[in-house]
């Protein structure tokens, strides 16, 4: 296979996965905000179920967009590790730094706070009402800030990818 064809194919797959990933982020955000504002337990239950496919897009998309991005960079002989390998800082390295900066949010915020939300949902189901703990879990400011950072970092990565300023 021609290296240019391989590079173009990988770049296209990377871009398509990126679109799905961003759609997952935005879709999840919209549905979870609606769940946060819902008044009844059946509404919240339904909206959290609706959020599941978006969450899967984010989970798998974030991994696949990284894998295909790195594969594209390798095929194109792009020094995506920038100054670590003696290359200059460029848009690709900055994108990598932004991407990696999101990763600690998974074990430090999203997983433990997600378990807390699940527990609050189970307690609400037992009581058959929207409990204060469930409301609090949905409005957790730490989770909100982490999601804002995640969305901001991905937006910056997308901007760097499209503009390639440096």
The number of angstroms, rounded, from the C-alpha of 121 to the middle of its chain's C-alpha atoms is 23
Token pair for residue 21?
A: 């990933």
Total residue length of the chain: 166
What is the tens place of the pLDDT at every residue in 72-120? 999 999 999 999 999 999 999 999 999 999 999 999 999 999 999 999 9
Instruction: Please state, rounded to an integer, the average pLDDT across all residues of the chain.
Output: 95
Return the structure tokens found at 144: 């909100």
Q: Where are the domains of the chain?
A: 3-160
- pTM beyond 0.85: the answer is yes
Here the tokens at position 159 are 């901007």
Q: Tell me the three state secondary structure of residue 119.
A: helix
Average pLDDT over residues 122-133: 97
């Amino acid at each position: 296979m021609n290296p240019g064809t391989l590079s173009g194919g990988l770049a296209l797959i990377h871009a398509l996965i990126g679109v799905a990933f961003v759609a997952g982020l935005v879709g999840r955000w919209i549905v979870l905000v609606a769940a946060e504002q819902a008044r009844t337990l059946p509404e919240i239950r339904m909206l959290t179920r609706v959020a599941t496919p978006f969450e899967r897009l984010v989970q798998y998309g974030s991994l696949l967009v990284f894998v295909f991005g790195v594969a594209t960079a390798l095929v194109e002989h792009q020094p995506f590790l920038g100054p670590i390998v003696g290359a200059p800082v460029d848009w690709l390295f900055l994108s990598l730094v932004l991407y990696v900066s999101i990763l600690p949010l998974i074990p430090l915020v999203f997983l433990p706070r997600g378990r807390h939300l699940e527990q609050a949902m189970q307690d609400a189901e037992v009581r058959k009402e929207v409990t204060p703990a469930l409301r609090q879990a949905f409005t957790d400011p730490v989770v909100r800030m982490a999601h804002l950072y995640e969305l901001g970092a991905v937006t910056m990565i997308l901007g760097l990818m499209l503009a390639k300023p440096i």
